[in-house]
Amino acid sequence: MSSDLRDLYQEMILDHCKRPRNFHAMPSPDRKAEGYNPLCGDRETVYLDLEDDVLKDVSFQGAGCAISTASASMMTESVKGKTRAEADALFERFHDLITGKPDSQAGPELGKLAVFSGVREYPVRVKCATLPWHTLKAALDGAGVPVSTESEGPAAESGGA
């Protein structure tokens, strides 16, 4: 693999893609939401158990690319046990990382989520990495409608054939 591809598909990402963690439906979650990426037709469902303001348990299901699957898997591990505000702040910092915004050094530590830094070199793949996070946000907001990656930018698959 060329070195730049290795930047995107880091070992940890490939590992989470092949063996996603918390990859199951919850029989009776407090919240759940469905995320959709029209670019690739991927759908992901995020399940959530809340205890007051704390994300007690998080899981996901669906079929996606390596980046979205690994992102979902690592997200569930990262946000479990965090408060809602902490999860929101983590997403913000994660989003800055993968869109190449200068790091403010503020907010929570990204920890192993930093392996997604290579995504910034692949603008068309940013939505793959953010899909599970948007879906988590929708679950937290209790929105009943599926969330789409296209709420954050122009449609990626608008025409052609």
Identify which range of 36-44, 77-85, 101-109, 137-145 contacts another protein by CB under 8 A. 36-44
Regarding 75 and contact with another protein (CB under 8 A), the answer is no
Residue with smaller CB distance to another protein, 69 or 130: 69
Identify which range of 22-30, 59-67, 85-93, 101-109 contacts another protein by CB under 8 A. 59-67
Asked whether the beta carbons of 54 and 31 are under 8 A apart, the reply is no
Alpha carbon separation from 131 to 3, 41, 105, 154 (Å, rounded): 26, 12, 24, 15
- Pattern 89-128, binding to another protein, x per CB under 8 A? ---------------------------------x--x--x
Closest CA relative to residue 31, chosen from 44, 46, 48? 48
Asked whether the beta carbons of 12 and 24 are under 8 A apart, the reply is no
At closest approach, how far in Å is the CB of 15 from another protein? Answer: 11
Alpha carbon separation from 59 to 7, 65, 66, 104 (Å, rounded): 27, 17, 17, 29
Distance of CA 124 to the CA centre of its chain: 15
Regarding 153 and contact with another protein (CB under 8 A), the answer is no
Positions that interact with another protein (CB under 8 A): 1-2, 4-5, 8-9, 14, 17-18, 39-43, 63-67, 69, 122, 125, 128, 157, 159-161
